[in-house]
Amino acid sequence: MEKIFAAHGLTYRRTFYFPTVGEYAPMLERHGLQVRAALLFDRPTSQQTEDGLADWIRMFDKAPFAGVPEELQETIIREAVETLRPVLYHDGHWYVDYVRIRIKAVKEGK
């Protein structure tokens, strides 16, 4: 998205935060929790419509499009879809490449 926005003279504002285990565990520890286990894993998620990726962008990545004319929004989304088709579309479905972090933390002394 950053490259496509830039190609149109726009700046893509990241609105998501994806901490690593190395970033997240110390945050928990600073708040009095003891990290017992941490796991980072891929979780590709199948989208249910033929326009799955475009639908996902429209649903979850709205903020960077604020103030962008609707026609240009659709152009950017279409370019993103075509750029990512070789990577995220297979077996007749779009897959969003989610990554999950799972942490078990307990209050110290418990």
pTM of the full predicted structure?
A: 0.80
Phi–psi pair at 6, nearest 5 degrees: -60, -40
- pLDDT of 56 above 80: yes
Give the tens place of pLDDT for each residue, 20-52: 999 999 999 999 999 999 999 999 999 998 899
pLDDT of the residue at 110: 58
> Residue 108's pLDDT is what?
74
Measuring CA to CA, which residue among 40, 17, 43, 59 is closest to residue 96?
43
- From 64, 68, 89, 75, select the one nearest 14 (Cα to Cα): 64
Q: How far apart are CA 61 and CA 71, in angstroms?
A: 16
Task: Map out the domains of the chain with their CATH numbers.
Answer: 2-107 (3.40.50.150)
Lookup: tokens for 61:
């990545």
